[in-house]
Amino acid sequence: MRKAKVALVGLGGWGGEQSLPALGECETVELVSWYDANPAIVEDRRPMIAAPPAGSYDELLDNEEVEGIILIVPNHIHKQLTVQAAGRGKHVWIEKPIANTVAEADDLISACEDAGVILQIGHSLRRAPAMRLMKKMIGEGKIGELATLEAHQSHRGGWALDSTMWRWYRDRCPGGPLNLLGIHQIDNMNYLLGGAEEVTAMASKRVLECEIDEIFQVVIRFSNGVLGSVSDTYITPGKTFIAAYGTTGWIEYNSLTNVLTLFDIEGVPQQIEVEKINLIADEFKEFGECIVTGKRPETGGPEGRAAVAIMEAAIESARTGKTVKL
């Protein structure tokens, strides 16, 4: 299979430090151009990249060699850049979340559908081999009847914020850590279970000067009666885990250490060896395959929208103090 020709947009922190190396590991895509709106970042990254940078986003889109665009940009401009790309016939990959609201998600999904281009959303954590195994074990009844899901994702990124950054502002990052971190665990729960019906949440500010909330607690009721809880903060040391609790045991996965543990009915642990892969490279591999073959990505528009629907409901619940039905 030939390689899909792609361009990377946004080479600051995550784009330059995680996405760029991941592209180098991927055998299904070739980086043929790139763009960042910050001239200092362009000059810093230029020596690392063989492909030439574009002088503007429009110039990038005018490049007929570019088949797909990988967007690692602030959440509040996902819609704008996606609609522009789709209008020029480019396939689009967006780092999660798909957008800040369901309305924005619907608009960019429609733009891609109307243009007949691939839309893939970067929900990477579900791709971990441990998550694949957890889903299989739940389906096989290894923990009995599933009762609850619990997840947490936090790090101290909030301490580095200042007023020049988009994450500082509520209108650009309305869920704070829920936009940035908790959305991963929301997608994990959708992957394991799906069918969310209602959401209740609380948010809090404690120590930072920025506009966004620093702490979120979310409870999700799924259609089969299972409850899921997602907690996250932007001010505490890094921790990322998800657990599934059943009537005869539970499974817990620590993403940071890549440790999957099965606990039996007596609480006796059994650590299960799992492979560790580059999740971002795995996403880009699929994006290239989708461009070349036309197949549908695992996390496309509907999956991205489903996660944002829960996130938006949680933000509304935290604001009003009421449970929000989906």
pLDDT digits (tens, 9 = 90+) for 76-108: 999 999 999 999 999 999 999 999 999 999 999
Q: Which regions of the chain carry the CATH code 3.30.360.10?
A: 127-276+309-325
CATH number of 4-124+280-298: 3.40.50.720
Average pLDDT (247-264) is 98
Average pLDDT (181-210) is 97
| pLDDT of res. 276 | 97
Q: Which regions of the chain carry the CATH code 3.40.50.720?
A: 4-124+280-298
Using the predicted structure, report yes or no on whether residue 269 has a pLDDT greater than 90: yes
| pLDDT of res. 293 | 97
Using the predicted structure, report yes or no on whether residue 193 has a pLDDT greater than 90: yes
Check: CB of residue 168 under 8 Å from CB of residue 161.
Answer: yes
Average pLDDT (154-183) is 97
Average pLDDT (137-146) is 98
Q: How far apart are CA 117 and CA 37, in angstroms?
A: 25
Q: How would you classify the pairing of strands 259-263 and 269-272?
A: antiparallel
pTM value? Answer: 0.97
> What stretch of H or E contains 120?
strand 119-122
| pLDDT of res. 5 | 98
Q: For residue 123, give both structure tokens.
A: 């929900």
Average pLDDT (229-243) is 97
> What helix, strand, coil percent values describe the chain, rounded to 5?
40, 25, 35
Q: Domain 127-276+309-325: give its CATH architecture.
A: 2-Layer Sandwich (3.30)
| pLDDT of res. 1 | 86
Q: How far apart are CA 289 and CA 10, in angstroms?
A: 22
| pLDDT of res. 310 | 98
